[in-house]
Structure 1
Amino acid sequence: MTLWTTLVTVAVGAFLGSGAAFAANLLAARIQARGTEESALNELVHEIHFRRVLRRRVPRESPRAEAIDPAWERSRHSIASLRGEIRSARRATVPRSRALPTLDGMTLACNTFLDDSEADPALYELHLMQLQARLNASVRVLARGYDGVDDLEPGNAVLGPTIDDLVVPGASLG
């Protein structure tokens, strides 16, 4: 073998080796980004699941809710906070993620609730149930699209049973 043949062989081998290392690194970064996205989406679904304000209920009219119903303000605060959680999940997605339209729909549903419940406070529970239905549909879309995202109904989380004989510290046992 001549010197030139050896030099070309070494150069081509180095080029192909570095190209393969670059491609492997790119693939690993993409897999990690997808895992981060899936984890953020699953965390969002769990956060929605634990929002008690989204629990199914029979809506009732609440005249002057903004003035005399403390649940009106708590529900608005909770949904505004949830909108921030959706924003955080959006930041964890990869560019052009297939989850973005669903996350946009969730944000729009939260905005619609906030607008409607402010415009007509007496019907805020009806607006909450509409929001719950919209979020439930969005959660189902995410769960179908990602293996690592659970299909959990918004507001449907429950605590396990308590210990029956538990005594409050400092209380009389007598």
Structure 2
Amino acid sequence: MVERLSAEGRVRFTDPSDDEVAEWRRVVNYAKRHDMEPEGRRIEKVPYGGRGLEFFLAEGPHPNARSQRPAANGPVPVPARLGHLHPVVGVLKGDDQRLVMPSPFRCRSLLLLQGLAAEAVRRGYEVRAVHSRFYRREGGVDIVVDGFARTITARQEFPESTIPERSARPRRGGRARADQAVGMLA
């Protein structure tokens, strides 16, 4: 099959039986598992006509291949103090209409957002102000990766609870939780 694909470019089966389809899939899977594909190319299969199949050699690794995934760099460091703030986090810190919560939670939220912003910049991503409306108790940043913006917000989880343990819990959430943002940056 690999020799035929290399010579012809594309191989089409216009009306294969179910047994033939199963056999060709086994052949292609065998070739992939045993590194029989030509260097820098991969075998692809697409439907052809009604019941047909077409095989061809595509360039490079498959887009979903593990080699195409960015390496996980571990946890994002969170600063201990609010110094050298990213401009977007600095504006958020100065806005007393955002992150309306007890001071320790507001500080922790700003530290988390600063850590994410600093890591995003280190990895070459853009960090910008969020243009959507927030509730007074939350604030956040947009992190732009390959042209796609993801909003990261922080807010107090149960601000109006009369139970001290519940009202003392910060919530990193909204459209994307801060811990999910770490995965996005990975």
Task: Provide the TM-score with structure 2 as the length reference.
Answer: 0.26
Normalised by the length of structure 1, the TM-score is 0.27
Q: Which has the higher helix share?
A: 1
Structure having the larger proportion of residues in strand: 2
